[in-house]
Chains A and B, each alone.
Chain A
Amino acid sequence: MSRKGFLTSTAIALSLMTGQAMAEIKFGALYPFSGQLALLGEESARGLEIAVDEVNANGGVQGEQIVLERGDAVDNNQAIGEARRLISLAGVKAIFGTYSSSRSIAASQVAELSGIPYFELGAVADDVTGRGLQYLFRTNPTAEDMGELIVQMVVEKVAPSLGKEPGDLKIGIIHEDSAYGTSVAGHQERYGEEAGLNIVTTQGYPASTVDMSSIVLSLKQREVDVVFQTSYQNDSVLFLQQANEAGFEPAAIIGGGGGYSMLPTAEAVGNDVIEGVLDADFTQYAVNTDFTPGLEAFVETYKEKYGETPRSGHSLNNYVGALAILEALDGAEDLEPDTIVEAMAGIDVQEGDTAAGYGIKFGVNNQNERASMMGMQWQDGQLVTVYPDAGAVTEMKLGN
């Protein structure tokens, strides 16, 4: 090789190397960005975006900047189509998503077959991790965690505040009858029985119901003390209103996520009606920040980036999951699927060390076994965290 040739090839090789150092890696962001679920889909994606910004500012993953390629999972079919596009056309190394359980279940199937890791940061259905997929990891708490937390809250907090033994309270479970409500209600029954609770009735109803007066009457006649409801927004509003109007005043109402955490629900039923109502959900913002380090910084960054305060806890929980995963990927040797799986096994974040409070360690079926929900209560028009004690900002107020 001539000297000139050597110099040229060295120059080319150098430029290639520096080129590689400036390279980007692509991850998919698969959420419902349009359609019925767009509001919270977008909210979830914002959490992922903030995590990516933070990691990029700290040098990216393995020295490369992360670029998010969006996929719009407007329905199950499109979730599948978009997952295929992200994997084969955009060439993403992994997919993050999805908020909606049914979209997640559909799209992760595609990723699994292609051997591309799929990180679920927000969907709660049991089946997301219940299918034994190799490349799917979930960081957020599940329907089972929700059922478990509600029962724990009754045993440890609600019953003592009412001055009763947990077993003396009559529990009524009502739930919308799709997979979501049915599975949470099933866990409530199972954990409830283990804890010795007296569950007097379990009733399902279609989420699109326009009348719950017969359910209210039935609970009233059974003299139910504590109502568990797993619901979407319209049926949460309907139940709270119709219970109030029928003069049904149980000692406690405990909702599960969905409608119960949202401000428009409180506006719909009125602050006096929703006062004291409890709710189990992902970590929200009125929480003890000693237990959730990084939450205040997250909210600040969010405000700067999007010009408003977070609209729900979805962004926070997506942020926490994405951040832990991206940091683990940074420490891995490459981004081959099997290396990623190995890196995930190494994640070991303790409770109280993330902005959502819960720790992260993947256990059976790659479900985060440290994920947990929190108990919230509506007090003076605000949804404040009251359970567990480490996350609580104030006491639970029950009874008169």
Chain B
Amino acid sequence: MLETFLQVVVNGLMLGGLFAIISIGLTTIFGIIKVVNFAHGEFLMAGMFLTWLFTTKLGLHPYAAVVVVAPVLFVLGGLTQKLLIQPLMNARDEHIQIFATVGLSTAMINLALLIYGADIANTPAYGLRTPLEFGPIRVLEGQLFILGAAILLVIGMELFLRRSRTGLAIRAVAQNRTAAQLMGINVNWIYVLSFGLGAACVGIASVLVAPLYPTSSNIGTYFVLIAFVVVILGGWGSIPGAFVGAMVIGLIDSLSGFYIGADLREAVVFGVFLVILILRPSGLFGTKQKLSHIS
């Protein structure tokens, strides 16, 4: 019994790692630009298709694809900000940005359907699906890499935002757009950079996820809801919060799925999510809502 319990917990932690790696980009973009990116899942889908192309056409390890996928998604994210979000930044109603990203999401799904069809595309696993056994506990090699990468990415992003000059500028813009502008920071450029950065995080996630999950045009929709839950639970815009939120959701998902029943696990996950939100409306790591976009 104890062995099963440990396995369930480990499964939950691995699931948490997966949720964390796909949520970091979303929370980054929201924390800085205050835009809820509903096309987040489709960025992941695009990254996974790129990884698949890179791996199958060039015969290289999927992780090596990161040198292509992360920069491509950086550019894609930057362009999204520059061409789609920026013109709407000063719209009277900020909800317009939300509709814009929803539109982008639908457009990307249908574009992928057009290019790749409705079938699944399999990225070769290169041994990443090999189960490693620690006593009675089994985990996949690829899952461990995802968890490790999620931890490193959280630390890396935090260091970048707190220590580097650009990072400080980004945080200044996030805290108060107008004041930052008065200090001589090019706010629009920082936004483009930040969206690109968030999208590049999704790029890193996609090379890690692609060898473990078949890619399809609607794969983004599988992950996006849980990413939103994780980010809200952690506190919008908090990167360490997203990590902790992901672990919490992963554990609840795994434990309830086994001990309560697969049929009820979503009810439990979202029930706990609602309770936490009622007790802490700004999320686990959230601070008072920053209103820089209207300042």
Contact = CB atoms under 8 A, between A and B. Distances in A.
Interface residue tally of chain B, by bracket? 35 or more
Interface string B106-136: 0000100100011110100000010100000
Nearest to A259: B120
Interface string B127-168: 001010000001010000000000000000000000000000
B118 A203 contact: no
A211 B120 contact: no
Contacts of B118: 36-40
A308 B57 CA distance: 24
Q: Which of A40, A210, A218: most chain B CB closer than 10 A?
A: A210
B116 to A, nearest CB: 11
B120 A264 contact: yes
A214 B257 contact: yes
Q: Which of B8, B219, B257, B263: most chain A CB closer than 10 A?
A: B257
A210 B253 CA distance: 11
A233 B216 CA distance: 10
B262 A234 contact: no
Which 4 A-B pairs give the minimum distances between C-beta atoms?
Answer: A214-B257, A214-B258, A203-B262, A213-B11
B214 to A, nearest CB: 5
B221 interface: yes
Contact of A247 (B117, B138, B213, B261): B138
Interface in B167-226: 213-214, 216-219, 221-223, 226
B90 interface: no
A247 B7 CA distance: 12
Contact of B261 (A36, A203, A212, A217): A203
B129 A210 contact: no
B294 to A, nearest CB: 36
Contacts of B218: 36
Interface of B: 4, 7-8, 11, 15, 18, 110, 113, 117-120, 122, 129, 131, 138, 140, 213-214, 216-219, 221-223, 226, 253-254, 257-258, 261-263, 265-266
A217 B259 CA distance: 10
Contacts of B217: 36
A265 B18 CA distance: 22
28 contacts: A35-B110, A36-B118, A36-B217, A37-B118, A38-B118, A39-B118, A39-B119, A204-B262, A205-B262, A205-B265, A206-B266, A208-B222, A210-B15, A211-B11, A211-B18, A211-B253, A213-B15, A214-B11, A215-B262, A217-B4, A217-B8, A218-B262, A234-B216, A237-B120, A245-B129, A246-B138, A247-B138, A264-B122
Given A36-B113, A214-B253, A237-B214, 15 more contacts: A39-B119, A204-B263, A210-B222, A210-B223, A211-B18, A212-B262, A214-B8, A214-B257, A214-B258, A217-B8, A221-B4, A233-B120, A234-B213, A234-B216, A234-B222
Given A177-B263, A208-B222, A35 B11 contact: no
A174 interface: yes
A211 B15 contact: yes
Q: Which of B15, B129, B218, B223: most chain A CB closer than 10 A?
A: B129
A214 B253 CA distance: 9
Contact of B263 (A205, A208, A211, A265): A205
B11 to A, nearest CB: 4
A136 B160 CA distance: 64
A342 interface: no
A267 B258 contact: no
B221 A215 contact: no
B206 to A, nearest CB: 14
Nearest to B209: A210
B221 to A, nearest CB: 7
A334 B63 CA distance: 66
Contacts of B221: 208
Nearest to B119: A264
Given A234-B120, A234-B216, A214 B265 contact: yes
B122 A217 contact: no
B213 A210 contact: yes
B123 to A, nearest CB: 10
A195 interface: no
B262 A268 contact: no
Q: Which of A209, A213, A217, A265: most chain B CB closer than 10 A?
A: A213
A288 interface: no
Contacts of A38: 113, 117-118
Contacts of B11: 211, 213-214, 217
Nearest to B123: A268
A78 interface: no
Contact of A245 (B140, B213, B223, B265): B140
A247 B120 CA distance: 25
A241 interface: yes
Contacts of B122: 264, 267-268
Nearest to A241: B129
Contacts of A204: 262-263
